[in-house]
Amino acid sequence: MKTTLKTITAALLIATFFINTATAQEMAATTVSNKTIVNNEMVESNNTTSSDDAATNVNSTGNSRLAAKFTSRFPAAQQQQWAVTNKGYWVSFLNEGRKTRAGFNTNGQLNYMVEDCSKDQLSRQFQSFIAKNYAGYQFLSAICINAFGEQNQQAILENNTGFVTLNFNDEGVEETRKISKAK
Share of the chain residues as helix, strand and coil, in percent rounded to the nearest 5:
30, 45, 25
**For 126-180, how does the pLDDT look when each residue is reduced to its tens digit (9 = 90+)?**
999 999 999 999 999 999 999 988 899 999 999 999 999 999 998 999 999 999 9
Q: Could you give the C-alpha distances from 69 to 75, 109, 110, 179, in angstroms and in order?
A: 10, 8, 9, 40
Do residues 70 and 53 touch, judged by C-beta distance below 8 A? no
User: What ranges do the domains of the chain cover?
Assistant: 2-113, 119-180
> HSE-up of 116 (CA within 13 Å, CB side)?
12
Closest among 165, 146, 152, 138 to 8, alpha carbons compared: 152
CA angle 113, 115, 116 (to 5 degrees): 160
pLDDT in tens, 33-85: 344 434 334 344 444 333 444 445 666 667 788 888 888 889 989 999 998 88
Which residues on neighbouring strands pair with residue 163, listed in sequence order?
Answer: 158, 179
